[in-house]
Chain A
Amino acid sequence: MFDWKWEFAWEILPRLVTATGNTLLAAGAGYAIALVLGLALAIAQRSPYRGLTFVVREFVEFIRSTPLLLQIFFIFYVGPQFGIRLSPWMSGMIAIGLHYSCYLSEVYRGGIDSVPKGQWEAAIALNMTTVQKYRRVIIPQAIPSALSGMGNYLVGIFKDTPMLSVIGVAELIHTANAIGSEHYRFLEPFTMVGIIFLAISLPAAGLIRLVEGRVRRKLGLK
């Protein structure tokens, strides 16, 4: 029934390994952008400046209600009309980073809201600046309850990287598809890609839970 060719599988393995590296890089870079930008968006939504709060809230809502694929196309194909000419790689990472920063900002917001009011007041009583309040008091306490959400989106980003294939980023799906078209064989490359995704996603989820427990203990919270 299956005519699985081991020889062919071996032959294409190096290309898939390289593509795995690209996928991880895109996911990692996108995640890094999302982590930092998401925090900025979350904090901006709590700022005393009404105008800023409003604009950021609408922006987050807008990004979350439109598909990632559209955002990727937009940045890559429409960007140049506004004089923003980015490589597929750049466009892809920015799109993913932007998209997920909006989801992460909600995760952070939940975490920040879970910090009791008394902690803010204690920080004021110690005469802390806004930056000190967030950095030393609020964020360390917001992170533990945000961790599981943060971990979920890391796996989410990883699984969304194939969308970058549409603008020609040589991640796993794009590479598997190219191999298939070159050799008229799709069974091996796509099966292998599935296994690679599984082999990374599953341990990652476990690892995230491990890190979560560790961070909680390290911060003296249980």
Chain B
Amino acid sequence: MLDMSGFPTELSGENTPMVSFRKVRKSYGALTVLDDLDLDINAGEMVSIIGPSGSGKTTVLRMLMTLEQINSGVIYVDGQPLTHMPKGGKLVPANERHLRSRRADIGMCFQHFNLFPHMTALENCMEGPVQVLGLSKAEARDRSEELLELVGMIAKKDQHPSRLSGGQQQRVAIARALAMRPKVMLFDEVTSALDPEVIGEVTNVIRGLVSEHNLTMLMVTHQMGFARDISDRVCFFYGGKIEEQGHPSELFGNPQRERTQQFLSAVREAV
């Protein structure tokens, strides 16, 4: 039994972060992918994660979306434990029921969109609200059409994903995630699978979300310029840990750590 005494059953106080990773560890066999990670994200903050391949960036998002279990530590969302639940004044690993109740705060967009191929764009967006949130079809349709409008996909709402370009599919996927009204949105390299000429249409949608919505966002990206433009904070990951983090102007303009400097100059050379 792991000692959970260092982890409160909930976080409270004025500056409670929206997301809090506390000593989160994840390993696959002998490979440690997240190494006692501590990471707080404040409500309304846009945080970008950059770093070399294999440094654990995607893993951070997957743990927060509860796609897999962590090995130790606790993740809190909006002050409540996500990966654990309180029992007799202590935290124990979450069961499916607890996960379902806490997961509603989080939405995610994937590198390969993962739209449901047997549903149209509109049906993809309505699916969660109708099935999971229990909205009426009419309500869900209104909400979904509004969001498809927001991402510029309303004209294609009756198309199946197979008839849409990558950029279009990704915009629908963003609308689908937003339709669940999450507090936290996760983006995992949402432009990496796209042709260069359509990257802009997706990044513009995310830009719009940053300026107009009070969402908390965590984004993994390889687009340094984009991360610099829109982030409140950038975290440079190395070996399952945050090697350095800060405001984009500092991190990109004046990186302190040698590994950050190496990574950034390698990325710049590649461009």
Contacts and interface: CB of A to CB of B under 8 A. Distances in A.
- A and B bound? yes
A126 B106 CA distance: 9
Nearest to A128: B132
B177 interface: yes
Contact of B107 (A118, A125, A136, A141): A125
A127 B108 contact: no
Contacts of B106: 125
B66 A124 contact: yes
A141 B161 CA distance: 14
Contact of A125 (B160, B162, B177): B177
A143 B179 CA distance: 28
A110 B120 CA distance: 25
Contact of B132 (A119, A122, A126): A126
Chain A CB within 10 A, most for which of B108, B114, B161: B114
Interface residues of B, number: 29
Classify the secondary structure of A's interface with B: helix
A127 B103 contact: yes
Interface string B108-145: 10101011111110000001100110000000000000
A220 B189 CA distance: 27
A126 B162 contact: no
A129 B107 CA distance: 16
A124 B110 contact: no
B132 A127 contact: yes
B104 interface: yes
A29 interface: no
A126 B107 CA distance: 7
Given A127-B104, A128-B131, A136-B127, A220 B114 contact: no
Interface string A111-136: 00000101101101111111010001
B118 A140 contact: yes
B67 A220 contact: no
A149 B162 CA distance: 25
B5 to A, nearest CB: 29
A202 interface: no
B131 A221 contact: no
Interface in B146-171: 160-162
The 3 closest A-B pairs by CB, nearest first: A220-B160, A122-B114, A118-B114
Given A126-B128, A141-B117, 16 more contacts: A118-B110, A121-B67, A121-B110, A121-B114, A122-B114, A122-B115, A122-B116, A124-B67, A124-B103, A125-B106, A127-B100, A127-B132, A129-B100, A132-B132, A141-B116, A220-B117
